[in-house]
Amino acid sequence: LLPTEESHERRKRFVDKIERILNEEWPDHEIKVNLFGSSMNLLGTSTSDVDICVTTPWNGLKNITILAKGMKKHGMQGIYCVPKAKVPIVRLWDPTLHLACDINVNNTLALYNTRLIRTYVSIDSRVRPLAMIIKHWARQRVLNDAAKGGTLSTYTWTCMILNFLQMRDPPILPVLHRIPHEPNIVNGVDVSFYEDIDKLEGFGNKNNESVGGLLFAFFRCFAYEFDYEHNVISLREGRYLTKEEKGWGDTGKGWRLLCVEEPFNTSRNLGNSADDVSVNGLRDEFRRAVKILYEKESKESLRYCCQQYTFPTYNNRA
């Protein structure tokens, strides 16, 4: 699952290429291209899409259709705009470097999200393999498409995993927002957290759970233990909040069964991409995973657990 050196290099070349194109097309606007997401948070694979945040003081790219036209002019393919998303994006394919990419403009919060995830992943050696396995399982079981599939984004899955590790007994991860640190306000949001990884070395050593044991416990937690009706997953607080204290309990206002607090913009529910039908489907998948890992107890159990989901076919009957 881990990315190759060639994959890293290709991504670097891609970023340089996009930055060159943008500055050629719209010169003198201080346009910079920043990688974020799995390419930067230590949780990427060789096949991961590229996530890019374009930063510029110029407002001309606020209309992403203008950005899309510029990309098409320079040979990008499969261009698709999502202008009405919470964060508008352009999706495209680079036929030369064989990379799929999502581009947003000035969503700098994504850069801090990435830094937060990378810091957590660096604290304990179990975090990366556990997250990589769960991400692979979610993709294989078609549970990882917030935009089109009505399930959960990779970022949401990652916040759930990190919070789960904060709540083990003893904890494997600390709560970085709760350790004293200097505030850093960007666009009205405090994007700061404790970042001195060296001082956190060995934090989770009192917990001797294996990656395999943690994987089973994660599935069991969300299959049978987590209270979907009342609780909110909070990476920022390192615990479960209640929907009542968040004011997220009124389903008539669009609040979902699964609530995951965004760690910086705490008014945002990352679970909103999954409706109640999808969440019940997720719970079925968690139960399936628990059953397989409990009953099989062999090297093949994980492979079977991560077997590609195929949608049922229905024969038309007259």
Domain range list for the chain: 5-107, 110-305
Predicted confidence at residue 46, as pLDDT, reads 86
H or E element in which residue 79 lies: strand 77-82
Which residues are within 8 A (CB) of 262 and not within 5 positions of it... i.e. 6 or more apart?
A: 159, 268, 269, 270
Among residues 163, 108, 159, 189, which one has the least CA distance to residue 270? 159
Does residue 211 come out as left (phi exceeding 0), alpha (psi in the -120 to 50 range) or beta?
A: alpha
pLDDT in tens, the chain (318 residues): 678 889 999 999 999 999 999 999 999 999 999 999 998 999 998 888 899 999 999 999 999 999 999 999 999 999 999 998 888 999 999 999 999 999 999 999 999 999 999 999 999 999 999 999 999 999 999 998 876 667 899 999 999 999 999 999 999 999 999 999 999 999 889 999 999 999 999 999 999 999 999 999 999 999 999 999 999 999 999 999 999 999 997 765 556 789 999 999 999 999 998 888 889 999 999 999 999 999 876 778 999 999 999 877 655 544
- Find out whether 188 and 131 touch, Cβ atoms under 8 Å: no
Domain boundaries 5-107, corresponding CATH code: 3.30.460.10
What CATH fold (topology level) applies to the domain 110-305?
Answer: Poly(a)-polymerase, middle domain (1.10.1410)
Rounded Cα distance, 258 and 272, in Å: 7
Whole-prediction pTM value? 0.91
Between CA 48 and CA 51 the distance in angstroms is 9
pLDDT at 253: 55
Structure confidence at residue 317 (pLDDT): 47
Predicted confidence at residue 131, as pLDDT, reads 98
pLDDT score, position 255 = 64
**pLDDT value, residue 299:** 73
